[in-house]
Amino acid sequence: MDSPARRWLAILALALGGFGIGVTEFVTMGLLPNIAADLLPAQYAADPAAANAQAGWLVSAYALGVVVGAPTIAAAAARWPRKRLLVLLVGVFVVGNLLSAILPSFELVLAARFFSALPHGAYFGIASLVAASLMGPGKRARGVAFVLGGLAIANVVGVPIGTHLGQSFGWRSTYLLVTVIFVITLIAIAITVPLRPGDPGATLRNELSAFTRVQVWLTLLLGSIGFAGIFAVYTFVAPVVTDVTGLDEGFVPWVLVAFGVGMTVGTFVSGWLTDRSVKLSLTLGLLGVGLSVLAFALTAQTVAGLLISIFFIGIFAGACSPAVQTRLMDVSQNAQSIAAALNHSALNIGNSLGAALGGVVIAAGFGYLSPAAVGVALAALGLAVLTVSFTLDRRARLRA
């Protein structure tokens, strides 16, 4: 039997993987103007806003890689031993981030970001299942929250440091740092994570059966919509700092710290709350997204307003993920591997959609705060989808 010390070391190793993923996913937002200036120099010189909007496709490409990779890998590898699968997935992160650091053109870096993202959802899905089993009964959502907590802490420490590093030594140095983090993660998982067999009864057909359930689709939809509202705003936070609030780019890492602290608080509070009421956690999360994004639009012209509103956006970004993850595990029945991974497909559809919609309204000339209006509308739509899901639940119970 695994000792308590080894179990916690294993959970920390899994969280370190979440930390690395958090850095590689979110640091692009803070370095967007630097990447645009380097990879799109002519366009940046003529129209910085348009170049930043185009560089936002790097965020969308990563998100689309998650969407493609999560269900494909999780369904195909559900019967694999989980430790072996985790090591393989982290190895793909190592290669993908190294390519992001060294490839010379915007188009090739775009492709590298897509490739880097393929293991994202499957890693979080399998790592969450392993952590939940290590935590034991009644602490499932807290196990999920520990793994996702690595991602949240990345926004407090890793993303600001990576942003500062990229601003000082070139954005490519940041992706080299991320590569090193994943090499360490691979070694840590290989040493500490106990052997866990895959599900011997899992088949591709059983895993794909999750897509036949209406509640799975509704949960995916509300997760996508909620995160789209967040990322319509957060993708373009760096130009908001410099062009709206009127601060130097050196202040961007501090804004990212505020977001990361909020995300860390939201993730762990949501883990505790979701173990008590999934529905309450989801409702408060989506409502909070709409209100915090609205506050950002109204107050980001001031330093205090910018920091406070981005902190609360971070809280509700962190709160949504464990709740959506647990809801998917509840409604997927015997398709646990794909359900755990699909959470990250949903959230990254939201990332991609939010970045794209935010870029559209900015490129149309409405300014860097205009994506907040998109965010409020999307949060309201997410609450409507959640209401439909709860109503169907209630009717099913009455019929039973």
pLDDT tens series, the chain, 400 aa: 467 777 778 888 898 999 999 899 888 877 888 888 888 888 888 888 888 878 888 888 887 888 888 778 877 777 778 788 899 999 999 999 999 999 989 999 999 999 999 998 888 878 877 887 776 666 666 667 777 778 778 878 888 889 889 988 999 999 999 999 999 999 999 998 887 666 666 666 777 777 778 888 888 888 888 888 888 888 888 889 998 998 887 888 888 889 888 988 888 888 778 877 888 888 898 899 999 999 999 999 999 999 999 999 999 988 887 788 778 877 877 666 677 677 777 777 787 788 888 888 988 888 889 999 999 999 999 899 999 998 998 888 888 7
**Alpha carbon distance 350, 369 (integer Å):** 18
Structural domains in the chain? Answer: 4-399 (1.20.1250.20)
**Alpha carbon distance 248, 157 (integer Å):** 20
CB neighbours of 370 closer than 8 A, spacing ≥ 6? 358, 361, 362
The closest of 64, 352, 113, 370 to 233, measured between CA atoms, is: 370
**Alpha carbon distance 286, 283 (integer Å):** 6
**Alpha carbon distance 372, 377 (integer Å):** 9
Angle between helices 171-192 and 159-169 (to 10 degrees): 140
- Tell me, what amino acid is at 4? P
Backbone angles phi, psi at 56, to 5 degrees: -60, -20
Say what the pLDDT of residue 137 is: 61
Tracing tokens 């959802």 back to the chain, one arrives at: 121
The closest of 312, 223, 227 to 261, measured between CA atoms, is: 312
- Tell me, what amino acid is at 371? P
- Tell me, what amino acid is at 382? G
**Alpha carbon distance 71, 184 (integer Å):** 26
The secondary structure of residue 251, as a DSSP letter, is: G
**Alpha carbon distance 25, 252 (integer Å):** 16
The secondary structure of residue 193, as a DSSP letter, is: S
Do 188 and 65 meet the contact criterion of CB atoms below 8 Å apart? Answer: no
Do 172 and 113 meet the contact criterion of CB atoms below 8 Å apart? Answer: no
The secondary structure of residue 365, as a DSSP letter, is: T
**Alpha carbon distance 141, 358 (integer Å):** 32
**Alpha carbon distance 233, 288 (integer Å):** 14
- Tell me, what amino acid is at 50? A
**Alpha carbon distance 238, 249 (integer Å):** 7
Do 225 and 382 meet the contact criterion of CB atoms below 8 Å apart? Answer: yes
> Measuring CA to CA, how many Å separate 32 from each of 5, 200, 226, 239?
41, 44, 23, 8
| Helix and strand numbers, DSSP H then E, in the chain | 19, 0
